[in-house]
Structure 1
């Protein structure tokens, strides 16, 4: 018996030693990655400074050189944010492995806040009695001041949090109020500066860092230029450092939104292009989205969306995104989804549900009367297809039924579809097969019909399942902001920047889907998350959020 206990004890010691070695190796790897990221950011920062000095000495050589300078600033923005993320990840890994020293990145020094900004003093009084011995004979030694840059509409200010420091005459112990939480480690920016604006935006009012970058698609270099015009010079590197820190702070919320979204019985899936800078040229990346929205069939689960970034559009990406999913996928006819639909797939085959709006669009282009009139006015040939018009008329009858039953329970929708839509679709299929037989394979209407007829089972799946929608519009709505934003931010600065954008879009779009102001939500979450209990993190999700808490400067460490 003693031998068995000794063996168990020895195994436990060996397991603890193995875990310690694994944590140490993880910390070393994280520190190495942080150093590499920091070096890349520093090199790019120095290259940018050299190019700026050249322009000052020799003047602007061409319009192209000015555009390259803008691109270098965007690359630096992404590298600085990535370096900040890696630095914080290394610190957390080093904290778990106490024998490994954390990586300390050499950051560009931040200049003091401008003296002309008003200061608001928030004094945290020293204890009335010595926390060490309980004595009341205290004498003031001085005070420590922590400055936080904050902003309100058209006005900047620096909040000075003053922590009085006293010493006990009885035991000589020094006492002081604990430092306030900042939204990010080593933070200097208030939550409103990081996330949100207050009040309506009038006469070009201030939009702020995090939401403006991802919600309003304004790169940090443009924000820094505007802040400088308002009398508050903040470097691009300084702002990017805070963006990276915010991404780390908000990562746990992204993980919970991701788990909630992928637990749905039915998902909407789609993707869109994202221009990405790559070694002197612009590549084309992809942003993928998967949307959970049970409201059309009266589901009680809150809506949510999760985004992912990839460098290309190969099928391995959706297969990785949905590797644990086995429900219904509402999407277009992209071949990359095909392996998800295989019967022997583990953990189970994904059920394909096609999008009627996508197929209707193909006919609508051929029957667009207004567009044809514009072409004729320009002297171009324009033909309106009567077959396309008839196909749209028949489809619109099905769409009308769907509008009437939207929001009803899945069972009620199924009954209504069986009563009203089955016969319409049977007539539509018979009509299309009859007309298709008379058309050549090169005819545009024939191609639109083939798109549907080859996938007729997935197009009619909604008849037997009330959870299935007629269209994939939920995913297209989620991507709409990105499509509009491309005109402003032009491209992502790197793959890491694309991945960071995917996380932030997941948070912002999910907040919007739950009728929550994403700006106010981000500001409140950033103000609270550092001191929030880990097991109560779900309280900060958009659908559980109860509005702004007390300002961050009134929350203190225990």
Structure 2
């Protein structure tokens, strides 16, 4: 019986028929309820997927079109926090001191700004540096217009000119002598110095230009051809590659020394980025290579599968206190890269919580301790801002407070900085732990599989490593310095696109180690490279004396002071910005 077609006069009068009708209606209601429940579950699933996809879209849009700086600005929902009602007197006193310090920082900044303005008003006719050569040209009136006039002086206008680099060929004539009475003694000639390449065809200055153009200015060889051609010489790309190879071979011991020096620091940052490596047509001879087994495995797999290229890796290492950086090249993102470079290292490694880093303490027999990076944790939280604005605002405010504390104690000695971290930073970390365990961060408000749920799980899972900076004044709160270092690889990669061979990648790592360390020491890269390259070619092996931080002491004229000024001004702006924020909290 179709219950949908029943009218009032069609209802059965028999009790059993009525019971059957009721049972049928009940079954239909249950089926409809089940269908509604299924539709609701499906709708909830679609909404969850929609939120997840929207977060991914927002993240991609931020990566493509958003600002690259990680500076946090105050937006809707952003919180200004104190240190909590349960703060100890020491913590409260520190907060009050921070506000007083903020007032002083702002007052000093305003006074400095007034001084700069007054100086700029006094010195308004800026001239070019005095050491630059000057060619005077007198521009006078025509002779017929000067009649009856008296010359009273000249108005000087300085115009800077650029002259294209000039190439020249130095012809070395080595005298040859023979003994006139006994020609069997052969020819006697002056001893010839070791050249950069066989036959001494290229001076060290050419080698320095090739290397600096590629790894300092990020110019690939085909662009270098145009630059050299503009000066009258058009080298082949293979010639430029041979010159690069000769420079790297000469300075390779210097790169190895810098890597060894880096490992004497108590804390080292590590980060990595990918690069395309062309798959070799045949397996190279790796019998004497220290990583031959792993490289052979990767190459064999790529050759057998017919892959034209593989994803190799550059690794960057940044000493926290020593002015040294280092690079390494591997054919894959395998943990044997850091394990090999840090094989004899004893100290703290700071980086992200990549699986290869998480167990490095076990693999190194506790020689190495991992400290996690708060910048990585903050990024994971920030990606969830559109879906969870209140929770993200709270968490980012707490994380920002950690950075404010670091800003306040930056100039203090190790002992006092460590004491502040153990009191102030430890208190803030406790507040972060409490908030992550609160109802605001629990289901159903934040589901475990949501982006914010996963970000919170990341912080909780790596809480010990994230809090390691509390117990050591030499450990930075994040790995941003090393990440900035890796931008040099990313910028170069956009220009030279790929590495053609294993040896090319290893050469690049050695040259970037030397150039990167010179940049960290604010050196004129050309002047530094040319001096150490000439010294290495004549046989000097005192690599410690040729290290950038030592070399700069005897070459103050090659220090780029404007880079130091730029960093100082950027640091001052950051301190003032944070000081104004602390003053608002008062």
Residue of structure 1 in register with 2:453 after alignment: 446
Shift of 1:399: 0.1
SS at match of 1:501: helix
Deviations 1:390-417 (A, max 9, x none): 1111111110110122243322210111
Residue of structure 1 in register with 2:206 after alignment: 193
User: Given that residues 520 and 548 in structure 1 are in contact (C-alpha distance below 8 angstroms), is that contact kept between their aligned partners in structure 2?
Assistant: no
Matches of 2:244 and 2:461, distance apart in 1: 47
Matches of 1:264 and 1:417, distance apart in 2: 21
Residue of structure 2 in register with 1:259 after alignment: 260
Matches of 1:506 and 1:242, distance apart in 2: 18
Deviations 1:213-246 (A, max 9, x none): 2222222233224423542121222222221111
Matches of 2:378 and 2:262, distance apart in 1: 28
Shift of 1:180: 3.7
Question: Aligned-residue CA RMSD in angstroms?
Answer: 2.4
Closer/same/farther in 2, CA of residues 415 and 400 from structure 1, 3 Å limit: same
Point out the more displaced range, 497-506 or 436-445: 436-445
Shift of 1:312: 1.2
Which of 307, 319, 323 aligns to 2:343? It is: 323
User: Given that residues 270 and 315 in structure 2 are in contact (C-alpha distance below 8 angstroms), is that contact kept between their aligned partners in structure 1?
Assistant: yes
Residue of structure 1 in register with 2:382 after alignment: 364
Deviations 1:89-139 (A, max 9, x none): xxxxxxxxxxxxxxxxxxxxxxxxxxxxxxxxxxxxxxxxxxxxxxxxxxx
TM-score of the pair, normalised by structure 1: 0.61
Kindly indicate which of the two structures has a greater share of residues assigned to strand: 1
Which of 395, 401, 418 aligns to 1:397? It is: 401
SS at match of 2:311: strand
Residue of structure 1 in register with 2:19 after alignment: none
Matches of 2:364 and 2:525, distance apart in 1: 37
Shift of 1:459: 0.8
User: Given that residues 320 and 475 in structure 2 are in contact (C-alpha distance below 8 angstroms), is that contact kept between their aligned partners in structure 1?
Assistant: no
SS at match of 1:287: strand
Residue of structure 2 in register with 1:304 after alignment: 324
Shift of 1:500: 1.2
**Structure 2: 5+ residue stretches without partners:** 1-162, 282-306, 557-586
SS at match of 1:308: strand
1:288 aligns with 2:315: yes
Residue of structure 1 in register with 2:29 after alignment: none
User: Given that residues 320 and 474 in structure 2 are in contact (C-alpha distance below 8 angstroms), is that contact kept between their aligned partners in structure 1?
Assistant: no
Matches of 2:484 and 2:364, distance apart in 1: 30
Closer/same/farther in 2, CA of residues 224 and 349 from structure 1, 3 Å limit: same
User: Given that residues 272 and 315 in structure 2 are in contact (C-alpha distance below 8 angstroms), is that contact kept between their aligned partners in structure 1?
Assistant: yes
Residue of structure 2 in register with 1:48 after alignment: none
Matches of 1:269 and 1:529, distance apart in 2: 29
SS at match of 1:545: helix
1:469 aligns with 2:476: yes
Closer/same/farther in 2, CA of residues 191 and 533 from structure 1, 3 Å limit: closer
User: Given that residues 325 and 347 in structure 1 are in contact (C-alpha distance below 8 angstroms), is that contact kept between their aligned partners in structure 2?
Assistant: no
Residue of structure 2 in register with 1:155 after alignment: 166
User: Given that residues 375 and 480 in structure 2 are in contact (C-alpha distance below 8 angstroms), is that contact kept between their aligned partners in structure 1?
Assistant: yes
Shift of 1:165: 3.5
SS at match of 2:171: strand
SS at match of 1:529: helix
Shift of 1:496: 1.8
SS at match of 1:273: strand
Closer/same/farther in 2, CA of residues 488 and 346 from structure 1, 3 Å limit: closer
Matches of 1:326 and 1:347, distance apart in 2: 10
Shift of 1:166: 4.3
Shift of 1:442: 1.9
Shift of 1:424: 1.3
Shift of 1:157: 0.6
Shift of 1:458: 0.9
Rg bigger for which structure?
2
SS at match of 2:530: helix
Deviations 1:192-217 (A, max 9, x none): 2111xxxxxxxxxxxx3111122222
Matches of 1:467 and 1:155, distance apart in 2: 48
1:505 aligns with 2:518: no
Closer/same/farther in 2, CA of residues 184 and 277 from structure 1, 3 Å limit: same
1:236 aligns with 2:237: yes
User: Given that residues 314 and 329 in structure 2 are in contact (C-alpha distance below 8 angstroms), is that contact kept between their aligned partners in structure 1?
Assistant: yes
Matches of 1:417 and 1:346, distance apart in 2: 28
Shift of 1:185: 4.7
Shift of 1:313: 1.0
1:417 aligns with 2:421: yes
SS at match of 2:169: strand
User: Given that residues 398 and 421 in structure 1 are in contact (C-alpha distance below 8 angstroms), is that contact kept between their aligned partners in structure 2?
Assistant: yes
1:348 aligns with 2:366: yes
Residue of structure 1 in register with 2:354 after alignment: 334
Deviations 1:451-502 (A, max 9, x none): 1111111111111111111000121121111112222111111222111111
